[in-house]
A and B are shown apart, each in its own frame.
Chain A
Amino acid sequence: EAGVAQSPRYKIIEKRQSVAFWCNPISGHATLYWYQQILGQGPKLLIQFQNNGVVDDSQLPKDRFSAERLKGVDSTLKIQPAKLEDSAVYLCASSRSGKRNEQFFGPGTRLTVL
């Protein structure tokens, strides 16, 4: 089966600009996650969707970050305006429903904010 797809793979922007990331989860996976991973740290959950509803967005900086998952499949994550500290890898993951539901990760988008 095809894995989680993300684009772009790399993005360089200047602070105060906006940027958007796209994710296509594994077919049939109801749950979709966006993570921020800063170099040398573990992933930090930004937002979790179950189908097209938000399950958890408690760590999403809502003044600048937004995410949507229209139709319960693809998702986009937007940052507007970007800050220097947003430089990180943005990982999208998906999982089936169920107790074990290990997460499958996409290749990530490496964002550099100058």
Chain B
Amino acid sequence: GQNIDQPTEMTATEGAIVQINCTYQTSGFNGLFWYQQHAGEAPTFLSYNVLDGLEEKGRFSSFLSRSKGYSYLLLKELQMKDSASYLCAVRDSNYQLIWGAGTKLIIKP
């Protein structure tokens, strides 16, 4: 079967750095996405990785290792507005997105 694993919940302090991990087992691989979802709102696109390595976009970076079936999202200089759920999704060999359950990130002052 296809599976995406993420921690259910993480807590971090304002101004700090947090890393949210995602491991996956899917039928094929055609890219990995990270989405941010604030409570009661729709998911919004954060990043896309299809090759191994680090993609940096401002305070957010995303890393991919295809051989390990592993990705992480790194958030720097955390702000209170970063409190949200972070969803990892993998596109399989049929170009269908397989979604993780999301990691709820709580930022404390």
| Docked pose: A40 CA to B104 CA in angstroms | 9
Name which of B30, B41, B96, B97 has the most chain A CB atoms within 10 A of its CB. Answer: B97
| Docked pose: A103 CA to B42 CA in angstroms | 11
- Mask, A88-103, CB within 8 Å of B = 1, is 0001000000011011
Quick one: which of B50, B94, B97, B100 contacts A103, CB cutoff 8 A?
A: B97
| Docked pose: A42 CA to B101 CA in angstroms | 4
A48's nearest neighbour on chain B, judged by CB, is B96
Q: A100-B31, A100-B48, A102-B33 are in contact. Are A44 and B43 (CB under 8 A)?
A: no
User: Nearest chain A CB to B94's CB is how many angstroms away?
Assistant: 8
Binding site secondary structure of chain B: loop
Q: Count A-B contacts at CB 8 Å.
A: 42
Binding site secondary structure of chain A: loop
Quick one: which of B45, B97, B100 contacts A45, CB cutoff 8 A?
A: B97
Which residues of A79-114 have CB atoms within 8 Å of chain B's CB atoms?
Answer: 91, 99-100, 102-108
Interface size classification for chain A? 10 to 19
Quick one: which of B44, B45, B50, B89 contacts A42, CB cutoff 8 A?
A: B89
Quick one: which of A99, A100, A104, A107 contacts B41, CB cutoff 8 A?
A: A107
Asked if residues A91 and B42 are in contact (CB atoms below 8 Å), the reply is: yes
Asked if residues A104 and B45 are in contact (CB atoms below 8 Å), the reply is: yes
**Would you list 22 pairs from A and B whose C-beta atoms are within 8 A, ordered by A residue?**
A40-B101, A41-B101, A41-B102, A42-B4, A42-B100, A43-B43, A43-B99, A44-B99, A45-B96, A48-B96, A56-B94, A99-B31, A99-B50, A100-B50, A103-B45, A103-B97, A104-B45, A105-B43, A105-B44, A107-B41, A107-B42, A108-B42
Knowing that A42-B87, A42-B102, A91-B42 touch, tell me 4 more A-B residue pairs with CB under 8 angstroms: A42-B99, A45-B96, A99-B50, A108-B42
**A contact residues vs B (CB 8 Å cutoff):** 40-45, 48, 56, 91, 99-100, 102-108
